[in-house]
Amino acid sequence: MDRQTLTVEEAARALGIGRNTAYEAVRQGTLPVVRIGKRYLVPRAALQAMLSGAVTSAVTGGAVTGADRKEG
């Protein structure tokens, strides 16, 4: 079975952003994470949903904000 989550560092690489930027997005609530103990993990499905929403908003001309995120 494939892993259903990414570390914040793995998600940063997948998104093409730096590690510090990814952790700042976690703090701001714009990168979907679950916390297990001291670890933050990014669910693959939530990341895909977030990116799908960002692409849809960009295509339709809407701005994507933290409020646009769906909690899952």
Domains recognised in the chain with CATH numbers: 5-59 (1.10.1660)
Instruction: Judge if pTM exceeds 0.85.
Output: no
The pLDDT tens digits for 13-66 are 999 999 999 999 999 999 999 999 999 999 999 999 988 887 665 566 655 555
- Residue pair 8/47 in contact by the 8 Å Cβ criterion: no
The number of C-alpha atoms within 13 Å of 24 and in the hemisphere containing its C-beta is 5
Residues 6+ apart with CB under 8 A from 47: 6, 11, 14, 31, 32
Residue 23 tokens, joined: 């952790």
